[in-house]
Chains A and B, each alone.
Chain A
């Protein structure tokens, strides 16, 4: 469903993404790995419209979405979470998710109808499925780090995406939290037939869940293949696994 061909993005002279290729098929769980600064976040920002590519194509079902603004890309079925918790700190947990559900239902511009009565079931359902229902009245800014990360995913779920992009969903989590979060992501993928693209530093996590892995280094795609093949790829071992 998503094909990226020879993508480039430079900040001034620095080439953050410099020839990235990626293909994501419907229903797959695809991981992007690479050392710090490899350009993973930049790649996701390009896909979701936070940044615009200098060169190359981002094809979503044969349409080039490279030049579209974020809100339009979101409406095409791509939702994302961010590496650094990117939530609405002054709003309650419930409202955080409701905002995206309302947007999905095209109700964001509705005046004069209490928001408290709209999209309530859908929002509660999402909160329930990620395990935040009992905290729905808390202010999002007061949540623990782990819960903020989960809320990140819940907000993205509000858009009922076909493709969910997660930028280091377990960054900063304890090993137990990481395990539960990955289980949650797998469950969401299975239950809702989601296609998920994520990046992650924890190799165990990546090789455990991903069906396809793309390896990036210095902005370039080195290889994309199934986990077994990637593991055997010597180039990768030198580039990344070797220094463990």
Chain B
């Protein structure tokens, strides 16, 4: 099962990066450790979205909702109940996957753009609940100072926790994409009509994909709670969903690791340029426009040699036998 992993060309590089990341807290200042934890969380979120968008061509426009559902579920269970912390952290992704199943069952009946539109509406409903139900969710203010166990509460503790969980999730996603399920999903992305004609239940397959993707989105949500110790309605707001969508496009949505790169770039930009300037949406908009015109397949998906020769490219598949 892991043979596939080791045979990857990038396996050595990945292991080296992982070891570097394990050592990072010993030489990087605290702020950067925190920033990297945020990048991991966001990268996992973008990767989970890309299961739908890049590998399944499902226009999951409001994926942020499932991140929020994961975070709120874990956060509320930690604050309002006396359940052990690990139950809260497991409940988050499960709740997200359940929400994914429910919303997915409605959306999956529609095609492409309509799928995305319906998802935005249903997702906004969940946002409205979190925003309005003041007694439970703290409304606009959210809930802060959510208690997590000591060993993951510190900056380095949460960093290691997030790093390990993210890496495990990425491995799982990699194996899923390499499995028959993943191959079939990519075939559906390329040509759903043909897939149905070879006996594949396309809608069923897409629904399972959504459930898997929203589960991992929920994992990102609980990691957010671990890193930040708070939850607030912005986690469920559509602008976040747009941001992670751009991360996938920017990094390369037909590649495996592209969204990680996209997340690193966008989170760093947001941190150093500042979310709270009114320029942030402007910057996002400009990035999106540049992408559409110059790198429609993202930084990692572009075949640069070919880019300068012709615009016809078939470089989407990162799998080779």
CB within 8 Å of B: which residues of A? 48-50, 69-71, 74-75, 79-80, 82, 86-92, 94-96, 98-100, 102-104, 107-116, 118, 136-137, 139, 141-142, 155-156, 158-159
Contact = CB atoms under 8 A, between A and B. Distances in A.
Contact of A139 (B4, B178, B196, B314): B314
B180 A86 contact: no
B2 to A, nearest CB: 9
A113 B179 contact: yes
A40 to B, nearest CB: 17
Contact of A71 (B180, B183, B201): B201
Nearest to B254: A90
Interface in B103-139: none
B62 to A, nearest CB: 25
B265 to A, nearest CB: 24
A110 B199 contact: no
A95 B187 contact: yes
Given A86-B193, A92-B317, A109-B205, A159 B183 contact: no
B320 to A, nearest CB: 6
B186 A90 contact: yes
B208 to A, nearest CB: 7
B206 to A, nearest CB: 12
26 contacts: A50-B196, A71-B196, A74-B197, A88-B186, A89-B314, A90-B254, A90-B314, A91-B186, A92-B319, A95-B319, A99-B183, A99-B184, A99-B198, A103-B184, A103-B195, A108-B181, A109-B208, A110-B181, A112-B1, A115-B180, A115-B182, A116-B178, A136-B321, A137-B320, A141-B314, A159-B198
Contacts of A94: 321
Contact of A111 (B179, B190, B193, B198): B179
Contacts of A79: 197-198
Interface residues of B, number: 36
Given A90-B190, A99-B195, A114 B1 contact: yes
Interface string B22-42: 000000000000000000000
A140 to B, nearest CB: 8
A184 to B, nearest CB: 19
A100 B178 contact: no
A89 B181 contact: no
Contacts of A82: 194, 197
B316 A90 contact: yes
A89 B190 CA distance: 7
A68 B316 CA distance: 33
A145 B273 CA distance: 50
A96 B187 CA distance: 8
A159 B196 CA distance: 12
Contacts of A118: 180
Contacts, number: 138
B184 A91 contact: no
Given A50-B197, A80-B197, A107 B180 contact: yes
Nearest to A69: B196
Contacts of B182: 115
Nearest to A139: B314
Given A92-B321, A95-B319, A112 B194 contact: no
Nearest to B201: A71
A116 B4 contact: yes
B150 to A, nearest CB: 34
Nearest to B318: A90
A154 to B, nearest CB: 11
Contacts of A107: 180
B175 interface: yes
B194 A155 contact: yes
A114 B175 CA distance: 7
Complex A-B, nearest 7 residue pairs according to Cβ-Cβ distance, in ascending order: A74-B199, A100-B198, A90-B316, A88-B190, A70-B196, A141-B314, A114-B4
B202 interface: yes
B38 to A, nearest CB: 30
Contacts of A48: 197
A103 B182 CA distance: 13
B176 A111 contact: yes
Contacts of A141: 314
Given A71-B200, A103-B199, A110-B180, 14 more contacts: A70-B193, A82-B197, A86-B193, A88-B187, A88-B190, A95-B187, A95-B321, A108-B205, A112-B176, A114-B1, A115-B179, A137-B320, A137-B321, A159-B198
